[in-house]
């Protein structure tokens, strides 16, 4: 009985231990439109092929692209020979590059374009959500991170870099997997392109 009671008390104590507070933040999201021309869906899509953004060193252009800038304000605190990352506040700016017709469109083309660009925008917003998920996970593994034998708070930075690299790779893989599904034959973006180009 005594042992069982002690275990119960120990469990309660674990639950009541304070957890590091995470920062209250919101991403800044903005759209950068690039101009395209054309009066039909096929012409608009051809113009996207000529003016769409290039990603990295690729020679191919994309319909749209989501990019981000992430910086952190971190508070490392040393106590004795131990270093703890007491807080980590992110500043996240997400930019969506989307096409925009430069001229007024005929009614049917406008209707098809609105469906197309709404679907593309929703697609890019998922990429934005994946980025925000990554930042939240970075924050979760960062705040409260403690390294012993690190009075100058140098080892902790190296350990944190390992976490950042892993989470960044996971974010990129999630984005690639999502694009593969959406852009594959019969996928959402593939269907949007067909509808726009075929004009129905």
Residue closest to 139 by CA, chosen among 19, 28, 29, 30: 19
Question: What would the two tokens of residue 150 be?
Answer: 């690190």
pLDDT at residue number 24: 82
Does residue 2 lie within any of the structural domains? no
CA angle, corner 191, sides to 187 and 194, nearest 5?
140
Torsion sign across C-alpha atoms 161, 165, 170, 175: positive
User: Do residues 169 and 161 lie in contact, with contact meaning Cβ atoms separated by under 8 Å?
Assistant: no
8 in any annotated domain: no
Domain membership flag for residue 11: no
Specify if 91 maps to a domain: yes
Non-local (6+) Cβ contacts of 137 within 8 A are 167
The domain in which residue 117 lies consists of 28-198
Q: In this predicted model, what pLDDT tens digit does every residue of 29-73 receive, in sequence order?
A: 999 999 999 999 999 999 999 999 988 777 788 999 999 999 999
**Within 13 A of 15's CA, how many CA atoms are on the CB side?**
6
pTM: 0.84
Total domain count, the chain: 1
């Amino acid at each position: 009985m005594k042992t069982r009671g002690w275990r119960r008390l120990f469990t309660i104590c674990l639950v009541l231990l304070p957890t590091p507070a995470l920062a209250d933040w919101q991403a800044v999201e903005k759209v950068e439109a690039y101009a395209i021309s054309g009066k039909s869906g096929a012409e608009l899509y051809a113009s996207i092929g000529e003016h769409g953004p290039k990603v990295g060193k690729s020679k191919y252009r994309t319909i749209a692209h989501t990019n981000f800038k992430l910086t952190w304000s971190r508070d490392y605190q040393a106590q004795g020979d131990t270093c703890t990352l007491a807080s980590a506040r992110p500043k996240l700016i997400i930019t969506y590059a989307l096409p925009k017709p430069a001229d007024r469109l005929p009614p049917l083309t406008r209707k098809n374009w609105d469906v197309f660009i709404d679907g593309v925008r929703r697609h890019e917003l998922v990429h934005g959500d994946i980025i925000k998920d990554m930042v939240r996970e970075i924050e979760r593994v960062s705040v409260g991170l403690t390294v012993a034998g690190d009075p100058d708070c140098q080892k902790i930075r190296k350990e944190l870099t390992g976490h950042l690299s892993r989470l960044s790779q996971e974010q990129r893989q999630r984005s690639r997997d999502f694009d593969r599904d959406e852009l594959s034959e019969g996928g959402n973006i593939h269907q949007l392109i067909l509808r726009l180009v075929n004009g129905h």
